[in-house]
Structure 1
Amino acid sequence: MLKKLTILMLVVAMLGTFAGCKKAAPVEEMVLKYNVGAEPQYFDPRKATGIPEFTMLLNLFDGLMRYDNQGQIVPSVAESYTVSTDGLVWTFKLKDTKWSNGEPLTAGDFEYAWKTALSPEIASEYSYQLYYIKNGEKYNSGELTNADEVGVKALDDKTLEVTLEAPTPYFTSLLSFTTYLPINKKLDQSNPDWAKSADNYVSNGSFKLTLWDHNHTIEMVNNPNYWDKGKVKLTKIVFSMVEENTTEMLMFENGEIDWGPNPPPAELDRLKAEGKLTVNPYLGTYYYLFNVTKKPFDDIRVRKALMFAIDREAIVKNITKSGELPATAYVPPGVPDATPGSDFRKVGGDFFKAYDPDEAKKLLAEAGYPDGKGFPTFVLLYNTNERHKTIAEAIQRMWKETLGINCTLTNQEWKVYLDNRNNLNYDVARAGWIGDYTDPMTFIDMWVTGGGNNDTGWSNTQYDEYVRIAKSTGDQAARMDAMHKAETILMAEMPIGPIYFYTRPELIKPYIKGYYTSALGYTDFKEAYIEKH
């Protein structure tokens, strides 16, 4: 999930899709029906971790910066900003904006949100995204206990000063991410449970929350107190929470929803032939996690054997079918390297073959399991989704046929699945990561020791050091070199196994116009509208 540049770099990395150049008379009541797929785990921007939450939160809130409908990062709540000559001190002047309840939004709301996101009490998995701020990591770890030492300060109601640990060229991109969104300080202090229902929910974006029927429906309406409300055309967005892909497709075809982001793999060819499928870019990697604290997955040879036995070409050709690429590395294409116009993936190259059954058999035998003899049956965990199920079934067969080993498949609903991953209550688990911003660091810093998204139990001090180097210098060549070295370690020890690089096949009614779909995984409905049809 963010976080996360010349204009050329941004265009290449974001690969965003803006829909709607032709304008027709809009309908009077514009209600967009979107299947988000799962109940949000958290609806507090400080704690959200998944794409379902991100899409909704980035329509409910505005940060200092945001991506516009051309994929360029622009000021939002910020009126303007300046940066010191050493690149460390950023000073933001804020627009006159309001919360959805009519209260004025202040620089103090940003300061409060960021500092509480760093507090151990909040236990935000994304707190590390704020480590770019001076003393952010020390405060989060408890090394410092005085929040005043964290490098964010409201100089007055309309001025926010941010001091960084090191020059960060992509800081403006980070500022659009959910962990950098503001929180209504007054509300959070008086009602810590404000984000658990629609009753007291307050936001500052183009829409405001009006209904949260848990595990069923979320509704948000046009926010009359939004600073840029003249551009917001939709009356309401209704988010359904249907996890089953085939049901989503039937709802789309029956007119019950306008947008379904998870079409079933078995129907992709038909949907494409009928012109119902839209494929958008997606800056991310689909992979499997190993719990390296459990035997036999504490053995690098076992982890590599399982990954080399996967026929990635077969998966993208026969299952995903939407232009995905077999992943033979971790960081996907579309992320810039040090030289303008260069690509981190092209510079780094491949780390293994897309399918290497002979090497897989050899490694498993070296680990003490020739032809799979003596290898324990294990559980492959995935969150409920037809695509994940189909992929897991295919990989289960590949492991059996190539290595002679057995696994059972277990699916769980989103929140339960995340809890088990976070608590290392699994053997092997499905996972995916979509960049939070357009820099390799959004992928690389996940796997530092104790990182909030490092659900593997893996730790490597040299890897941690390369990440530290990349974060502590403004020299782009040195940063990229350190991150390439970190990725080399990650792929050599393989606590995660990349399977393919994402695209984003979706079902979208042709009368939905004006939206912006980002390669970072979210959809912005600020300027969306519905054509008469």
Structure 2
Amino acid sequence: MPRLFLSMGAALAAAAMAGLTACSEKQQGPVVVSVIGTPQQLAQPLRDVLSPASKLILESTAQGLVAFDAQGDVLPALAQRWIVQDDGRSYIFRLRRIRWPNGAPIKADDVAFLLKNRIAANLALDITGDLAAIEDVTAMTGEVLEIRLSTPRPYLLQMLAQPQMAITRRDGGTGPYRKEKRPEAWFLRPIVEDDGSEDTPIPPWENRVVRAERASMAIVRFRAGLAALVLGGRYSDLPLLKLADLDNRVVRIDPAQGLFGLAVVASDPFLNDDGVRSAINMAIDRDQLPAAFALGGWAATDRLLTQQLDLPRAPIPPAWADATIDDRRAAARNAIAQWSSANGAVPVLRIALPKGSGSKLLYTLIAADLSRIGVPSRQVDLNADADLRLVDEVAAYDSALWYLGRVGCARKVHCDPVSQERLQEAGLATTTADMQARLAEAEQLTVAHNGYIALGAPVRWSLVARRLTGFAPSARARHPLNQLFRTTN
């Protein structure tokens, strides 16, 4: 920790030596944004579409038919309006008048072709969700296209608003900004609508300067006044905020919904034992997490789903949910002792977490809980061979299908095969009642299997200068750069 503190202090001094712009200039000039990530993620976002930096540059320069607003609600983007027909199986979109970077007008057949490519790519990567229900995307006229579904999907617009559904091609995307490479950053200029009016000068404050860098440097830049916004913060970098001694008013925590927990990703005699997986799940004390990370309001949980969503009933809790932590640990110790008596020494569990001081803290807490029941462990890199691997994702859309799919057999998580069958049946269901019944069965089996160890809601934080009056907490953890001020831009 002392080394980190000294390096941050040295960086602050270096930033100050570089010189700060005057307050009036910062108020009038482009908004400087630091996103936690790498320059390559900004330069080639489609290669790492789930990173904060890639998502930010995609939603800024290559919007989809719809997008998320500052609160996380769906709003028009490339499509100016739409209608839903045929009991939810047909979505018809009318496009805005906008041009490609080369000046050619964007037509519905262009968008249909590119959207089908994005759907295929996301299905292959299994990252966007239940896109298999989309049967076809066709241009009806030059400015109108239709998306046909095999079964109704009430959350289709949320799926289409994901940054990885961006409409883009080699020479650029559909806005709302055009990007230009600058040394160590990207300059973003708003696209002016093709409304036939004469060009008007763009006020400097409507432009954006975006760079990707590690969390420590982004925090330093913000504290020094060289950036007005830091995006992409996760739990792994939370301890850095305390070291930086920032005003609490500039730290914004998103009310993000999704998954934050450990997935069982190994299949061996130890983890194949139902009693062992249950013991590991019940041994962890979630209540210690918010205090350990000094994050008030963090929703720690032992539930896979914390909301009913499209289930026909409330989510099912683990069988041991009402027991005290002492009783849970006693039962867990007994289960591990029984396995050891029958099989020999308990193996060392490899727990895969991302880099960062927050991960070290999280591992320390989990390792202590596991040690109390007789299970040794060690931390490994997130992508290394592991027994337990962190799942840290914001929900793409509001359905139990998303949650169950993210911790199911298709994602190589230790699972109940019958639950996977029920989940697939839910995806193919042609009626709401049938889908809900299959989802309920899949959720019950998944919870009982203990292949996913829920810890809490995903943590997403930002640093926001007070002048950015349009910034708002978002359940989607998305913060459009063209909505940073309450005035329209």
TM-score in same-fold range (> 0.5): yes
Structure ID, larger Rg: 2
What's the CA shift for 1:131? 0.9
- Give distance in 1, aligned partners of 2:408 and 2:420: 5
Q: Give the 5 Å matches for 1:378-397.
A: 378-397=349-368
- Give distance in 1, aligned partners of 2:37 and 2:448: 35
1:237 to 206, 209, 226: 209
- Give per-residue Cα distances to partners, 1:360-402, cap 9 Å, x unaligned: 21222333369x96112232221112212211121112212x1
Q: Give the 5 Å matches for 1:425-504.
A: 425-450=385-410, 454-456=411-413, 458-473=414-429, 475-504=431-460
From the superposition, tell whether residues 497 and 218 of structure 1 become closer, same or farther in structure 2 (CA, over 3 Å). Answer: farther
Amino acid at match of 1:238: V
Amino acid at match of 1:28: Q
Q: Which residue does the alignment assign to 1:252?
A: 222
Percent identity for Structure 1 against Structure 2: 16
- Give per-residue Cα distances to partners, 1:27-78, cap 9 Å, x unaligned: 3312323232456668455861234422332222221112334544232211
From the superposition, tell whether residues 296 and 132 of structure 1 become closer, same or farther in structure 2 (CA, over 3 Å). Answer: same
Amino acid at match of 1:97: I
- Give per-residue Cα distances to partners, 1:246-292, cap 9 Å, x unaligned: x5444432334333435533754995875443233111221012223
1:174 aligns with 2:159: yes
From the superposition, tell whether residues 55 and 373 of structure 1 become closer, same or farther in structure 2 (CA, over 3 Å). Answer: farther
- Give distance in 1, aligned partners of 2:255 and 2:79: 28
Question: CA contact under 8 A between 2:311 and 2:440: conserved in structure 1?
Answer: no
Q: How many residues align?
A: 449
From the superposition, tell whether residues 236 and 428 of structure 1 become closer, same or farther in structure 2 (CA, over 3 Å). Answer: same
For normalisation by structure 2, the TM-score amounts to: 0.80
Question: CA contact under 8 A between 1:67 and 1:74: conserved in structure 2?
Answer: yes
1:409 aligns with 2:369: no
Amino acid at match of 1:359: A
- Give distance in 1, aligned partners of 2:174 and 2:191: 10
The 3-state SS of whatever aligns with 1:389 is helix
Question: CA contact under 8 A between 1:33 and 1:238: conserved in structure 2?
Answer: yes
The 3-state SS of whatever aligns with 2:134 is coil
- Give distance in 1, aligned partners of 2:355 and 2:464: 22
- Give distance in 2, aligned partners of 1:462 and 1:409: 32
For normalisation by structure 1, the TM-score amounts to: 0.74
Question: CA contact under 8 A between 2:408 and 2:415: conserved in structure 1?
Answer: yes
1:336 to 290, 301, 309: 309
- Give distance in 1, aligned partners of 2:146 and 2:127: 21
1:221 to 185, 188, 206: 188
Question: CA contact under 8 A between 1:100 and 1:225: conserved in structure 2?
Answer: no
- Give per-residue Cα distances to partners, 1:159-191, cap 9 Å, x unaligned: 22221110111222222123432233xx3xxxx
- Give distance in 2, aligned partners of 1:367 and 1:287: 24
Q: Give the 5 Å matches for 1:349-388.
A: 349-351=316-318, 352-353=320-321, 355=325, 356-368=328-340, 374-388=345-359
From the superposition, tell whether residues 27 and 118 of structure 1 become closer, same or farther in structure 2 (CA, over 3 Å). Answer: closer
From the superposition, tell whether residues 67 and 25 of structure 1 become closer, same or farther in structure 2 (CA, over 3 Å). Answer: farther
The range that moved more, 163-172 or 34-43, is: 34-43
Q: Which residue does the alignment assign to 2:140?
A: 155
Q: Greater helix share, 1 or 2?
A: 2
Question: CA contact under 8 A between 1:301 and 1:363: conserved in structure 2?
Answer: yes
- Give per-residue Cα distances to partners, 1:461-507, cap 9 Å, x unaligned: 42233223433346445433432322222221122211112353433
The 3-state SS of whatever aligns with 2:97 is coil
The 3-state SS of whatever aligns with 1:441 is helix
Q: Which residue does the alignment assign to 1:110?
A: 111
The 3-state SS of whatever aligns with 1:358 is helix
Question: CA contact under 8 A between 1:265 and 1:321: conserved in structure 2?
Answer: no
- Give distance in 2, aligned partners of 1:429 and 1:123: 22
From the superposition, tell whether residues 208 and 367 of structure 1 become closer, same or farther in structure 2 (CA, over 3 Å). Answer: farther
- Give distance in 1, aligned partners of 2:352 and 2:224: 32
- Give distance in 2, aligned partners of 1:121 and 1:264: 30
- Give distance in 1, aligned partners of 2:330 and 2:110: 57
Question: CA contact under 8 A between 1:207 and 1:221: conserved in structure 2?
Answer: yes
Amino acid at match of 2:144: T
Question: CA contact under 8 A between 1:35 and 1:257: conserved in structure 2?
Answer: no
The gaps in structure 2 that reach 5 residues or longer are: 1-23
Q: Which residue does the alignment assign to 2:68?
A: 67
Question: CA contact under 8 A between 2:37 and 2:51: conserved in structure 1?
Answer: no
Question: CA contact under 8 A between 2:108 and 2:143: conserved in structure 1?
Answer: yes
1:317 aligns with 2:291: yes
From the superposition, tell whether residues 223 and 89 of structure 1 become closer, same or farther in structure 2 (CA, over 3 Å). Answer: same
The 3-state SS of whatever aligns with 1:502 is coil
- Give distance in 2, aligned partners of 1:427 and 1:41: 28
From the superposition, tell whether residues 241 and 463 of structure 1 become closer, same or farther in structure 2 (CA, over 3 Å). Answer: same
